Structure formats: structure tokens, C-alpha cells
Structure 1
Amino acid sequence: MSHTAEWKVRLHLFEEAGTTKARVVLDTGSTSLTGRGTAHRNPADMDVPEIGDELAAGRALHDLAGQLVDAATHDIEAMGASEPGQVYGPAVGWSI
């Protein structure tokens, strides 16, 4: 069985007073999922916006990835298949 799909992803970044927030929206055409992530700059650190962008975006994508795996697990279970082992675990050091 051949299958081709195109999903659209939009990543939004917002920075204010040392805090960067990211929102990533996945549009599959039939559903939409939103991941969120935040990064806080220590006041003693240099102000490098790209670092906050990278951390917040990475955390938002991590959140989205977890939602996708949860959705797939739910779909597998709904089809009567046995529960799969843990496919996706949390990354060490990232608080969400």
C-alpha cells in the first residue's frame, strides 16, 4: 500500500524580558496539534536571543512529538492491537 501525505508545521516565537515562548502548530489537513515550549534566561547571562529561540522551539517540538506518539498509541489500542512498549521517552534535562 502506497501512501503520501503533506503536513504543515508553523513555529511561532515570542520573546519578552528574558523569556522566550514557542508555539508549534501541526496541521495534518484533518486535525491540528499544538506544542508549547518556554526558555528563561538567567539575568546574569548574556542576552543571546537565538539561544532562547533554540531552547523554546526544541521544547515545543518535543511537546508536539510526545502528542504525536500518544495519538498513535491511542489509535493502535483502538484497533485492538496490543499496547506497544515505550516508544518515546522524555529527554534528560528538559523540563516541560
Structure 2
Amino acid sequence: MPHTTEWRVRLHLFEDDDGTTKAHVVLDTGTTALTGHGTAHCHPADANVPEIGDELAAGRALRNIAQRLLNTAERDIEDTGAPRPGTRQATGWPM
């Protein structure tokens, strides 16, 4: 049963005057939307390089939404009656 689908990701970055960069990411699957957040703070002794704050905040927001997506998948697996990933009896080669 092959299928193809497209999920859309929107990532917004905001920088405050105090050197804090915030990221807000939305994953739209067409049937649901998940959100993630991340922040980065520029230390006063560091050079002000906005791209680094953007990268850190965006990476943290994406990592946050990735964990939320994995948690959702685990709950969906449990709802089918299957055991939680990691609790199944291992077969084949270890990962």
C-alpha cells in the first residue's frame, strides 16, 4: 500500500534586543499540526552573530518538534494494541 503525502513546515525566528533568539516551528500534516519551540541566548562576552542564534534556536525547535512527533507515533502504536517501541522482543540484527 504505497502512498505519497506532503507535510508542510513553517519556521519563524524572532530576535529580542537582549540577544535572545526564539524559534517557533509548526508541522502541518494536513490532519493535525504540531508545534515546537527553541531559544538561544547570546552571552554578553560573545560576538553578536545573529546567524548563530538563528541556527541554535531553529535546531532546538526542530529537535523539540521531532520529539513531539516521536511521542505521538508511540501513542498511536500503543493505540493499535502493539507494545511500545523498545519493549518488543528483539529479532534480527541489533540496531
Mark yes or no: TM-score above 0.5. Answer: yes
CA shift digits 1:28-61 (9 cap, x unpaired): 1110000000000001100000000000000000
Aligned length: 86
Which whole-Å CA distance do the structure 2 matches of 1:32 and 1:82 have between them?
Answer: 25
Q: Partner of 2:77 in structure 1? A: 76
Which whole-Å CA distance do the structure 2 matches of 1:14 and 1:7 have between them?
Answer: 23
- What's the TM-score, normalizing by structure 1? 0.87
Give the letter aligned to residue 13 of structure 1: L
Which whole-Å CA distance do the structure 1 matches of 2:27 and 2:84 have between them?
Answer: 25
Report the secondary structure of 1:84's partner residue. coil
Q: CA RMSD in A?
A: 1.0
Runs of at least 4 residues off by over 3 Å: none
Which whole-Å CA distance do the structure 2 matches of 1:10 and 1:85 have between them?
Answer: 31
Report the secondary structure of 1:46's partner residue. coil
Q: Partner of 1:63 in structure 2? A: 64
Which whole-Å CA distance do the structure 2 matches of 1:85 and 1:18 have between them?
Answer: 40
How far apart are 1:14 and its partner, in Å?
Answer: 0.1
Q: Partner of 1:50 in structure 2? A: 51
1:2 aligned to 2:16?
no
Which whole-Å CA distance do the structure 2 matches of 1:51 and 1:25 have between them?
Answer: 21
Q: Partner of 1:12 in structure 2? A: 12
Give the letter aligned to residue 30 of structure 1: T
Report the secondary structure of 2:44's partner residue. coil
- What's the TM-score, normalizing by structure 2? 0.88
Which whole-Å CA distance do the structure 1 matches of 2:10 and 2:84 have between them?
Answer: 31
